[in-house]
A and B are shown apart, each in its own frame.
Chain A
Amino acid sequence: MKAITAENIRKSYKNGKETVEALRSVSFSVDRGELFGCIGPDGAGKTTLFRILVTLLLADEGRATVDGFEVVKEYPEIRRRVGYMPGRFSLYQDLSVQENLEFYATIFRTSVKENYHLIKDIYVQLEPFASRPAGKLSGGMKQKLALCCALIHKPTVLFLDEPTTGVDAVSRKEFWEMLKRLKQQGISILVSTPYMDEASLCDRIAMMHDGQFLKTDSPQNITRNFQQPLFAVKSGDMFELLHRLKKMEGIQNAYPFGEYHHAVMKSGMDTEAYLREHLAESPDLEILPVRADIEDCFIHEMQKH
């Protein structure tokens, strides 16, 4: 049995007179014990998808199951089994760390003691602040507490909606390590993030854009399947360079990428010499062949659609 299945999920919102399609026919499934990432920019429809799966929102069309239960008809079962961490910090800010944790434990008819082993790694970092109101924690600590509260009833499926947004780099790394450990405990995890670099940490990812899944595969397969040659280009005048790259015949796509511009070549025009020849006038030219990462693949997929 799959942890999550979704078939042709559609959802649109009415915004005044115009209708916004938040999800257009999304289908996917998550295996048990899998860490599945939902990667996409803001407004791709990630949160809407999450809210449908955790039974907070009804889809217009389509079917979905979580842990084998149907999201519409069997929602009480799902609510008993899943852990949900919304994108926005949603714990009681005026209750202390410990009180929040105990409250969520009790409403799931369990106790902190019973499932302490699940949260131990995370909670030890929070313990010094146990009596501090949740609202007065730092951003990273808040996320850790939210994760603890989502885990305290030993969920079978964990939904984490942008858990690392607004969290510093160190905390982000720690957070992902925790997710890996949770996965080893047999918890299936669906996580969304706007950060492409986090994608490689998932077992499988779905690239999401404009309410659609562009591609679903393991991050390794996705990058491996990127066939076209890719070069990182840098010069003294980056703005002019991008302009020039975009006009070149043999280049399919060019976009800024960190301190370089990435240039995706059309097949057959895949030589550094071609680039050098056309960019000869640019000062301090630097050209490196690079391997595509998730972000390159994402941009590539977006172009296709």
Chain B
Amino acid sequence: MRSLRFLLEKEFRQIFRNPAILRMIFIMPVIQLIILPQVADYEIRNVKMDVIDHDHSMYSREMIRKITSSGCFELAGYHDSYTAALHDVEHDRTDLILEIPAGFERTLVRENEAPLFIAVNAINGMRANLGAAYLNSIIRDYNQEVRAEWIRFPRFDEQPRIEVQQRNWYNLHLNYKLFMVPGILVILLTMVGAFLAALNIVKEKEIGTIEQINVTPIRKHHFILGKLIPFWIMGLLVLSLGLLVARLIYGIVPVGNIGLIYLFAAIFLLAVLGLGLLISTISHTQQQAMLIAFFLMMIFILMGGLYTSIESMPRWAQVVTWFNPVTYFIDVVRMVVLKGSGLKDIAGHLGIIFIFAVVLNAWAVFSYRKRT
């Protein structure tokens, strides 16, 4: 035990002496938490739109006014011909073209229906999709208004209509920050736990200090513990810092018990530290470890349900996400922070992450033995 204490002393001394690590641990999370939730936003605003109005009628003008005043669209150009508008699309000056045919108003009044044409720039799929959907719904709205104007005193509604009322549970205003901040926190924790620890161990290998340590009475498990414990503590510190930032900047106060988050984080960190150890045993240089870390990080983020919903992934990808520890933590943090889930609700996740911790650490120790 005494040698473990000396190792920890040395480790902390090195960590606190390394400004890069300190920055990485304390400043980066704060900055990421401040910036990323603001930009990782699915709401589409400022969709640029070109309008070709061949009709120049009251109705067409009223419709354009309604669209632009919705706040989602920005009138990028006003053209006479489709070719001119398409030119804008080609130069990426606009996302959408709305073409109003000549005689729009007349056809609408006489025949009770009138065609409109929407062309979408689908280079950015999500923007195009949502933009077109917004536009459709605004036009539908407008359609209702026009109809209401015509049938001023209806004895009864001629056309039956279903009106949908919607309520967002747990996140009343569909605030994306409430949803993103806990997720980003999890990613930060993963980085500290898995990758800083891996880099630290590989550094000892690369510089050769591990050779010198190996020819001392220090036991291997002491050496490994001496590496893992500091980063375990560091991870919990980052979590605390992150929760504090979430509270101060975004006013996010977990609805559930904060202790549950810590409990889960403690075990989650064990799992990712095991992963870090595993990475360190298979890489010889910090560069190799870094590349593996990048690769895994991409998968963890994109297949962890942080940005995209796992339920809408293809079946095989959903199966892959089962093996992503980050998935479970993101889920748990969201459950506890937004919904106030209790221990019983997260018990399943807790069990799974515990298995992760056991398997990853056992694997890492086995692989460490084999290679040294």
Give the interface of A toward B (CB within 8 A). Answer: 54-56, 76, 79-80, 82, 84, 86, 88-95, 99, 103-104, 106-109, 149
Contact = CB atoms under 8 A, between A and B. Distances in A.
What DSSP secondary structure best describes chain B's contact surface? helix
Given A79-B217, A91-B212, A106 B207 contact: no
SS of A interface (majority) = loop
A114 to B, nearest CB: 16
B38 interface: no
B18 interface: yes
Interface stretch (B6-14, B85-93, B127-135, B273-281): B6-14
B168 interface: no
Given A94-B14, A95-B13, A88 B215 contact: no
Contacts of A90: 207-209, 211-212
Contacts of A82: 215
B344 interface: no
Interface string B180-219: 0000000000000000000000000001110111111110
Nearest to B212: A90
B215 A107 contact: no
Contacts of A94: 14, 17-18
22 contacts: A54-B215, A56-B214, A56-B215, A76-B217, A86-B208, A86-B211, A89-B208, A91-B209, A92-B10, A92-B209, A94-B17, A94-B18, A95-B13, A95-B14, A99-B10, A103-B10, A104-B216, A106-B6, A107-B3, A107-B216, A108-B217, A109-B2
Looking at chain B, what size class is its interface with the partner chain? 20 to 34
Contacts of B217: 76, 79-80, 107-109
Q: Which 3 A-B pairs have the closest CB atoms?
A: A90-B208, A90-B212, A84-B215
A145 to B, nearest CB: 12
Contacts of A103: 6, 10
Interface string B4-30: 001100100110011000000000000
A56 to B, nearest CB: 6
B218 A107 contact: yes
A103 B7 CA distance: 8
Given A92-B10, A106-B6, 18 more contacts: A55-B215, A56-B211, A79-B215, A84-B211, A84-B212, A88-B208, A91-B212, A92-B209, A95-B14, A95-B17, A103-B6, A103-B10, A107-B3, A107-B6, A107-B216, A107-B217, A109-B3, A149-B212
Nearest to A84: B215
Interface string B213-232: 11111100000000000000
Contacts of A107: 3, 6-7, 213, 216-218
A250 B329 CA distance: 83
B14 to A, nearest CB: 5
Nearest to B372: A56
Contacts of A55: 214-215
A146 to B, nearest CB: 8
B260 to A, nearest CB: 38
A94 B209 CA distance: 12
Contacts of B17: 94-95
Contacts of B7: 107
Contacts of A54: 215
A239 to B, nearest CB: 41
A84 B213 CA distance: 10
A288 to B, nearest CB: 45
Nearest to A77: B217
Nearest to B15: A94
Contacts of A80: 217
